[in-house]
Structure 1
Amino acid sequence: MAEIAVLLPCYNEEVTIGKVVKDFRASLPDAKIYVYDNNSTDQTASIAAQAGAIVRKEPRQGKGNVIRAMFEDVDADVYIMADGDDTYPAEAAPAMANKIIEGYDMVIGDRLSSTYFEENKRPFHNAGNKLVRNSINFLFGAHVNDIMTGYRAFSFTFVKTYPVLSRGFEVETEMTIHSLNNNLKLYEMPVKYRDRPDGSVSKLDTVGDGMKVISTIFTMIREYKPLPFFGSLGLISSLVGLGFLISVMIDFWRTGMVARFPTLIGSVMLIVAGLLFIVTGIILDVIAKRDRKTYVTGANIFSYWHRH
């Protein structure tokens, strides 16, 4: 029988954490439930322990830091990650775990195809989810419905080979981009989302965390898709420089004189800069492909080790 671990990162969730632990205990009776308390100032840790969870502390503030600690510390065949705010249905966990056992690397609990837009009362969050989803799907040629969901299931190999770099709520976006870049086996499962109950307060900062998510996307596109990123910059720079150069050449053809030397010099510099951007993109693209090969090799080693 596969060993299942439920991972619940928490910060001040005393209103809901007891119910969340009990719900997952009922849905997955044989699973170990871990609550990682991220410097809560309320009774989250004690309530989770009373409900039967294994409670651990993570002093580094931020959801990304908590997930990094959980992935490092906990060994299991299947991992179910959810939030402690009682917005995700625990009854979906067995089906998600079964998909991992079937061979998927990550199962995404898709809120956006279900009840998210009906339940979530924060319009900026809804718009942000759509913007992030459309941007990443366009850049990676994918069709993922819910990029930022916190309800996911993972294989052992994914957990032990995924480099958690983000410190905050942008970590879910990072997970999705990492998976798409490395062509991992993903499965999306629609789940019913429910808004936080009365008395439970969201820790998300719509503007601040939204900017962090956008920054994460920008950084990871630059790292994972360097040729399109730098190639686009190079093409734009070269075309602008070529436009100025043509205007100088037209004047020269009409008058036989170069009257705008600064424009001529600037246009040539823009063209050269554009070519350098393109060459940089080609070099970094080769490095990115090598990194993907290294990741696949490392993942295969972890998978073999875990099976034996």
Structure 2
Amino acid sequence: MLEKNTSPSVAVLLPCYNEEVTIGKVVRDFKTSLPQADIYVYDNNSTDRTAEIAAAEGAIVRKEPRQGKGNVIRAMFEDIDADVYIMSDGDDTYPADAAPAMVDKILEGYDMVIGDRLSSTYFQENKRPFHNFGNRLVRGFINGLFGAHVTDIMTGYRAFSFTFVKTYPVLSRGFEVETEMTIHSLNNNLRLFEMPIQYRDRPEGSVSKLDTVGDGIKVMSTIFRMIREYKPLPFFGSLGLIVGIVGLILCGSVGIDFMHTGMVARFPTLIGAVMLVIAGLLLIVTGIILDVMAKNDRKAFIVDANRFALMKRQGK
């Protein structure tokens, strides 16, 4: 093992909210697996002893007053500089002993390593059936849209490169941030690596902060928003086609009546049908314009990523 002075810097990021039951063990496990790493615990307005216990175990404890996991991750990414970042949860559901292999993959050149729960023990360990259904639904939808094969879209156990962290715009405020990360990576064709991990359910006495229905709605709304932004041509184009086809069908029915009677008997229908056709064409044109803008955004992202990579190399 290399000495700490010559090793790449590694930061373990643990967003926490009321995790006093498990946070001590999580910090100890990561200290054992990554003795060279700095371990950061960001306390998100906990009302228990989470921050106190984490500090006693040697973690660097900081406060984030804006409630929500997305807000915490945004603060972490802004504040902390490292060559490699490991993000996990403070609930002891992810194995710390997988972290060294994840670090190695980032050092090989990957932008993000995904700790894949779904290929191993997640469906056996997780006792919430709607979460299992939600994971499958989101995975199928996103993979179908982006032509990808990512197994675990919403895992909270990930590793990142410096360039990814400093160029990723965290927009979500809550637990939907993991879905946002995956969509962002697929849209920008980043280098992803999935590593199966042994997921375990929360230990006795540890309470989940997830709201199955509420967080599920937030995840789906995030997917809807990001599809609209990242895939505007399929989104607006499909909508435009549907509206336009309905308009053409109505126009056709009025045209058939005209052929039979020699007069237009349903002027309101004809006017509405023409407006639908025009609206459909406008939606398609909107999709084309926004698609060009989205491609320009991807070009700008590549330029920014290259700039940060160059800054990182020059800083060494």
The alignment's TM-score, normalised by the length of structure 2, stands at: 0.97
Counterpart selection for 1:205 from 193, 208, 211:
211
Q: Which amino acid aligns with 1:19?
A: K
Counterpart selection for 1:162 from 146, 168, 174:
168
1:66-92 CA-to-partner distances (Å, cap 9, x unmatched) read 000000001000000000000000000
Distance 2:56 2:135 in 1: 35
Alignment of 1:97-176 (within 5 A): 97-176=103-182
The answer for the alignment partner of 2:79 in structure 1 is 73
Q: Which amino acid aligns with 1:291?
A: D
Distance 1:58 1:189 in 2: 30
Listed as ranges, the gaps of 5+ residues in structure 1 are none
Counterpart selection for 1:234 from 237, 240, 246:
240
Distance 1:69 1:245 in 2: 55
Distance 1:26 1:46 in 2: 20
Alignment of 1:262-281 (within 5 A): 262-281=268-287
Q: Which amino acid aligns with 2:286?
A: T
How big is the shift at 1:156?
A: 0.1
The answer for the alignment partner of 2:46 in structure 1 is 40
The answer for the alignment partner of 1:288 in structure 2 is 294
Counterpart selection for 1:24 from 21, 30, 46:
30
- Look up the SS of the partner of 2:115 in the other structure: strand
Distance 1:214 1:191 in 2: 25
Distance 2:313 2:158 in 1: 22
Counterpart selection for 2:190 from 184, 205, 210:
184
Question: When the two structures are aligned, how many residues end up with a matched partner?
Answer: 308
How big is the shift at 1:307?
A: 1.0
User: Please, what is the CA RMSD of the aligned residues?
Assistant: 0.4
Distance 1:202 1:131 in 2: 21
Distance 1:165 1:247 in 2: 47
Distance 1:110 1:258 in 2: 62
How big is the shift at 1:265?
A: 0.5
Listed as ranges, the gaps of 5+ residues in structure 2 are 1-6
How big is the shift at 1:123?
A: 0.3
Identity %: 80
The answer for the alignment partner of 1:64 in structure 2 is 70
1:190-236 CA-to-partner distances (Å, cap 9, x unmatched) read 00000000000000000001000000000000000000000000000
Q: Which amino acid aligns with 1:180?
A: L
The answer for the alignment partner of 1:300 in structure 2 is 306
How big is the shift at 1:21?
A: 0.2
The answer for the alignment partner of 2:3 in structure 1 is none
How big is the shift at 1:30?
A: 0.5
How big is the shift at 1:162?
A: 0.3
Does 2:187 correspond to 1:193? Answer: no
Distance 1:96 1:89 in 2: 12
